[in-house]
Structure formats: C-alpha cells, structure tokens
Amino acid sequence: MKSQKHNEGELKEVSVKIEKQVALDLDTMSKNTGIPVADLVVIALKRFRSSHSDYLKQTPMTE
C-alpha cells in the first residue's frame, strides 16, 4: 500500500473538525507507517465512499 498513489490529480483542501483522539491517532499512524496524514485520510474516505455508494445515489436506496 505504501507504494500506491492515493492522492493524485487536482486537489482541493477540506477543513473539518474531528475528535482529538482521532487526529492524534492519524498522526501516530503516519509516523509509524511513513504515509502522510493526507494520504491516510484519502484512503479511509475512499473506502468509506465505496461502502456507502448509496450516499452518492449510485445504488438504489433500500428500506
């Protein structure tokens, strides 16, 4: 995974407030893996997006 490119193309800055412990964990994960925090966030969001394509109305909503 370290050799994959995750944050390519045109980039847009997004600012969010998250729980302090989540931010600290991201910093720790980045230090331990050498993967930049921005890439960790993109990986996590892409995984979330693929699991919840209904939020993008790309799959039929279920009841």
Task: Kindly list the domain boundaries of the chain, sorted by start residue.
Answer: 20-56
What pLDDT does residue 61 have? 61
What pLDDT does residue 54 have? 86
In angstroms, the CA 59 to CA 53 distance is: 6
Name the token pair of 11. Answer: 């980039």
Do the beta carbons of residue 2 and residue 33 sit within 8 Å?
Answer: yes
Query: Is residue 10 predicted with pLDDT exceeding 80?
Result: yes
What pLDDT does residue 63 have? 67
Query: Is residue 1 predicted with pLDDT exceeding 60?
Result: no
Name the token pair of 52. Answer: 């919840």
Higher pLDDT, 7 or 24: 24
pTM for the whole structure = 0.78
Do the beta carbons of residue 26 and residue 40 sit within 8 Å?
Answer: yes
